[in-house]
Amino acid sequence: MKLYLLATLAVASAAAFAQTKSAADGIAEYRKLLEDGNPAELFEAKGEALWKQKRGPKQASLEACDLGQGPGVVKGAFVALPRWFADTQKVQDLESRLLTCMGTLQGLDTAEIAKTPFGRGEQANLEGLVAWISAESRGMKMNLPASHPEEKRFYEIGKRAFFFRAGPHDFSCASCHGEDGRRIRLQDLPNLTKNPGDGVGFAAWPAYRVSSGELWSMQRRLNDCFRQQRFPYPGYGSELTIALASYMGINAKGAVSIAPAIKR
Amino acid sequence: MADPMRIRAQLAGDKATVRVLMNHEMETGQRKDASGKTVPAWHITEVSAQLNGKPVLSAQWGPSVSKNPFLQFSIRGAKAGDKVAVQWKDNKGETRTDEAVVS
C-alpha cells in the first residue's frame, strides 16, 4: 500500500513538473516543428516570380522599383522600412512603397488595390511580394533610419497612436503590448515599446498563419489589431498604420528579422 | 493551373530526406461561406513519388489534411544527382507534378 502511494506521488509530482514547462514552451516547440515546412515559402516563390514578371497596362516588371536601397535592390530593404522617400515626399512602409511602384512602373490602379479586401486579386499578389522581399533580408538586423524630420515625426505619431486608449473596450496597443510578461490566452505578447528580442514582434511579420492558411503582411496584422480594439478600419497603407510601424520598427533596432515567420 | 510545389531532397548517408510543400486549398466540404452555402470539397486524393521513375511512395489523402500541406519522407538507397518526382491529384481531377534533384 505504502509503495503504491509512493508511486502515485511520484506520478503526481511528474505531472506537476510537466506543467511547469509553460504553454509558451509548448508553442515554441510546435513552431519549431512547423518551421521546416513553413508554407510562407510557397508565397516567397510566387512573390519572386511576380517581381520579375512584366505586368499591368505598362507591361513592366518591378525590377526597377526603389525600396530605399536603390532601384532594384531587394536585399536589406525590408529591415530599413518604413523610411522617408524623396520622390513621393512620404514616409512609406513596404506595402505602400510597393503600391507606389505598381502604380508608377506598371500603371496599375493603386487606389483600387488599396480598396481590395485582403487575400483577393492584387492584394494576394502583394502578399507574395512582401513574403519574398522580407525573406531576402532574413537573418539581418532591424535598422530603420530615424534621422529625417519626417521619420522622427512618424515615430512620434506612432508612439501617440500606440498609447491612445479608445473604443468600447477602452484599450490601446499599449494595454497588451506595453510591458513584459503579458499574454493573451496562451500566447506571450511582445513588449513593443522596446526591442522585444530577435524574431519577435515587428521582426516576425509578415508571417504565415497556420490557423487561417494565409500570409499576413504587417498591414494586415495592424488592421486586425484595430479590429480587435473595435476601432474603425484605418485603411490599407494609411499614414496611421505606417506611423505605428515606424514606432515599432525603430524600437526594434538590432532585432534579427525572421520574416516571413510561421504563426499558430 | 495549380501553383508549383517546393521540393527539397537532402542526402545524409544512404538516405535522402525529401521535404515537399504543396500549394492547395484543401477544402473539406464541411465549411459554409458568408451566404450560408456549403463550400464544395476540393482536396488532394492521391499523392505519389518516384526516384528516377521508380515508385517509392503512394498515398491516399482526404479532407483532414491541412491547407498547403507539408510532406516529409525518406528514401533509402538514393544517390546525389538522383531525380525525385512528386505528384498529386485532387478530387476535381487536377494534377501537378514537380521534380527535384537529390543533393
CATH topology for B6-27+39-101 is: Immunoglobulin-like (2.60.40)
Closest A-chain CA to B26: A213
Cβ distance A45 to B68 less than 8 Å, yes or no, reads no
Chain B residue with Cα closest to A37: B70
Nearest-Cα distance to chain B for A96, in Å, is 26
Q: How does pLDDT run across A235-260, given as a tens digit for each residue?
A: 999 999 999 999 999 999 999 999 89
Whether A114 is covered by a domain: the verdict is yes
The answer to whether residue A223 is domain-embedded is yes
What residue in B sits closest to A46 (Cα-Cα)? B3
Question: Under an 8 A CB cutoff, do A36 and B70 touch?
Answer: yes
* Mean pLDDT of all residues belonging to chain A: 88
Domain-located, residue A151: yes
CATH of the domain at A46: 1.10.760.10
Domain ranges of chain B: 6-27+39-101
* Residues of A with a known catalytic role: 225
Residues spanned by the domain of A68: 37-263
- Residues in chain A with CB shorter than 8 Å from the CB of B23 are 42
Query: How distant, in Å, are the alpha carbons of A127, A169, A227, B54 from that of A192?
Result: 24, 20, 19, 53
Q: Is A159 on the interface with B (CB under 8 A)?
A: no
Please report which confidence band the pLDDT of residue B54 belongs to, taking 50, 70 and 90 as the band edges.
very high
Domain membership flag for residue A27? no
B8 touches chain A (CB under 8 A): no
Q: Is residue A16 situated within a structural domain?
A: no
B70 touching A, CB under 8 A? yes
Task: Judge residue A31's burial from the number of C-beta atoms within 10 Å of its C-beta, 0-12 exposed, 13-18 middle, 19 or more buried.
Answer: middle
Q: Is the predicted pLDDT of residue A191 greater than 60, yes or no?
A: yes
- Reported as a single tens digit per residue, the pLDDT across A25-49 is 877 777 777 777 788 888 998 999 9
Question: In the prediction, which pLDDT does A66 show?
Answer: 94
For chain A, how far is it from start to end, CA to CA, in angstroms? 46
Does residue A119 sit at the B interface (CB-CB below 8 Å)? no
Q: Could A213 and B68 be called an inter-chain contact, meaning their C-beta atoms sit closer than 8 Å?
A: yes
Tell me: pLDDT of A135 over 60. Answer: yes
Interface test with A, best of B19, B21, B39, B65 (most A CBs within 10 A): B21
Is residue A18, in this structure, part of any structural domain at all?
A: no
Chain B neighbors of A34, CB-CB under 8 A: 70
Q: Which pLDDT score, from 0 to 100, does residue A36 have?
A: 75
A28 part of a folded domain: no
Task: Give the model confidence (pLDDT) of A88-99 as tens digits.
Answer: 999 999 999 999
* Residue A158 falls inside a structural domain: yes
Residue of A nearest to B72 (CA): A37
**Chain A touched by B68 (CB under 8 Å):** yes
Structurally, chain A folds into a number of domains equal to 1
Q: Do A37 and B72 touch (CB under 8 A)?
A: yes
pTM of the model: 0.82
Can you tell me the ipTM of this complex? 0.73
Q: Which residue has the higher pLDDT, A12 or A244?
A: A244
> Average pLDDT of B54-58?
95
Query: Quick one: three-class SS letters along A38-55?
Result: CCHHHHHHHHHHHHHCCE
CA-CA distance, A30 to B97, in Å (whole number)?
30
In this complex, is the C-beta atom of A117 within 8 Å of any C-beta atom belonging to chain B? Answer: no
Q: Average pLDDT for residues A64-86, to the nearest whole number?
A: 93
- How far off is chain A from B23, nearest CA to CA, in Å? 7
Helix axes A94-104, A218-228, angle to 10 degrees: 120
Cell numbers 529625417 label which residue?
A148
Write out pLDDT tens, residues A150-165: 999 999 999 999 999 9
Please check whether residue A41 touches B, CB under 8 A: yes
pLDDT (0 to 100) of residue A164 = 95
With H, G, I as helix, E, B as strand and everything else as coil, classify residue A156: helix
Provide the 3-class DSSP secondary structure of residue B9: strand
Q: Over 50: is that where the pLDDT of A1 sits?
A: no
